[in-house]
Structure 1
Amino acid sequence: MSTELLTKFLTLLFGYAMPALECFKAIEQRPGRADQLRFWCEYWIILVLLVMFDEIAGVLISKIPMYYELKLAFLVYLWYPKTRGTDIVYETFLQPLVMQYQPNIEARLQYLRANAGDILVFYLKNFTERGYDLFLRALDYVRSQASRGSRTRSFFSFRGDRAERPSFTDDYAIGGERRDGGRHRRPRSGY
């Protein structure tokens, strides 16, 4: 098992699955403990920002030696009971930064929520038009490649009568023998 695969598995286990279970337990405790819920909400906020960073800086991350091992250590540091790094990271770095830009972030998110339908329609329309063009180009390419052989050219022809196109069943006579006298089916052995 490669170290990269092992590291990714451990990250899923210790960075996502175990904290998710702890968060579930904190929610389901009777009566609920607000401090535990706050801790796990802070953890998931930090984790989401880390995942966003991974997605945005994906190519650059691959250049950092031992990045995934460092990420695993950081995630364990965040939730480990003796360090409880989530409190430190959230209160020292994240909370002041978000509080500073919260009105601007709220305004942009509100704009996106209000215009989500228009944005979605724009992207779907753009995708379908470009997708259709790409599909037609692919068909032209296949057709140009197929025009090198006469049999495939007539098969891939989008014009002309259906009777002009060869059928795969034309190659076989009744009983499974090829008409051109080529290979024959093996005779069945008697039981």
Structure 2
Amino acid sequence: MIRSLVTRGLVMVFGYAYPAYECYKTVDKNKEDVEQLRLWCQYRILVATLTVFERVRDALIPWVPRYSEAKLFLYIYLWYPKTKGTTYVYESFFRPYVTKHETEIDRNLLELRTRAGDYAVLFWLKATNFAQTRILDIVRFISHKSAPKPPTTQAWIFKCK
């Protein structure tokens, strides 16, 4: 439990915070250093991809031992200047795969965007319909509770005597 907490903290520091700071320094301070900018952009692309696949891994293979530690070492390998891991992984694996499947990925993303837009419109229509119905129910309830009640027959007989 404690080891997992420490490892997760280290992953956050070395996998996200430190590279984000280095990316900031490269973008903000060294505007002319295109190679450093390329490195940190490639790193962020790889980390985003790993994060997406991590969600799938968590669902399928939760039993992998020392996964957090391996992930920590992978992140450090990616940004550590002597290993040039980001350049190697990006150029050897990621870029060729994405280049080969780029048209398919673009088509699927366009289809996904279209479906997401359709679902958003459908959700909006259902939500507004639900809200209108509930608001009308509340108004009817309030008007029914606040309307004066007609006298009952016993009260009318009592007044007549």
2:103 counterpart residue number: 103
Within 2, Cα distance between the matches of 1:77 and 1:40?
A: 13
1:116 counterpart residue number: 116
1:75 counterpart residue number: 75
Question: TM-score, structure 1 length as denominator?
Answer: 0.62
Question: TM-score, structure 2 length as denominator?
Answer: 0.72
Displacement of 1:114 in angstroms is 4.1
Say if 1:113 and 1:59 are closer, same or farther in 2 by CA, change over 3 A: closer
Instruction: Name the count of aligned residue pairs.
Output: 133
The DSSP-based 3-state class of the residue aligned with 1:57 is helix
Within 1, Cα distance between the matches of 2:109 and 2:118?
A: 15
Displacement of 1:123 in angstroms is 5.1
Within 1, Cα distance between the matches of 2:85 and 2:68?
A: 18
Q: Does 1:29 align with 2:29?
A: yes
Displacement of 1:71 in angstroms is 0.3
Q: Does 1:7 align with 2:2?
A: no
Mapping for residues 1-191 of structure 1, pairs under 5 Å: 2-122=2-122
Say if 1:111 and 1:60 are closer, same or farther in 2 by CA, change over 3 A: closer
Say if 1:30 and 1:83 are closer, same or farther in 2 by CA, change over 3 A: closer
Which amino acid counterpart does residue 116 of structure 2 have in structure 1? A
The DSSP-based 3-state class of the residue aligned with 1:65 is coil
Q: Which has the higher contact order (CA 8 A, sep 6+)?
A: 2
Q: Which runs of 5+ in 1 are unaligned?
A: 129-161, 163-191
Say if 1:42 and 1:99 are closer, same or farther in 2 by CA, change over 3 A: same
Displacement of 1:24 in angstroms is 0.5
Kindly, what percent of the aligned residue pairs are identical? 41
Within 2, Cα distance between the matches of 1:90 and 1:11?
A: 20
Query: Once structures 1 and 2 are overlaid, which stretch shifts more, 50-59 or 96-105?
Result: 50-59
Within 2, Cα distance between the matches of 1:44 and 1:122?
A: 34
Displacement of 1:101 in angstroms is 0.2
Query: Once structures 1 and 2 are overlaid, which stretch shifts more, 58-67 or 3-12?
Result: 58-67
Name the structure where helix makes up a greater proportion of residues.
2
Within 2, Cα distance between the matches of 1:112 and 1:2?
A: 40
The DSSP-based 3-state class of the residue aligned with 1:32 is coil
Q: 1:54, 1:61 within 8 Å by CA — same for their partners in 2? A: no
Displacement of 1:118 in angstroms is 1.0
Within 2, Cα distance between the matches of 1:42 and 1:30?
A: 17
1:138 counterpart residue number: none
RMSD: 2.6
1:132 counterpart residue number: none
Which amino acid counterpart does residue 102 of structure 2 have in structure 1? Q
Q: Which runs of 5+ in 2 are unaligned?
A: 128-144, 146-161
Within 1, Cα distance between the matches of 2:54 and 2:30?
A: 36
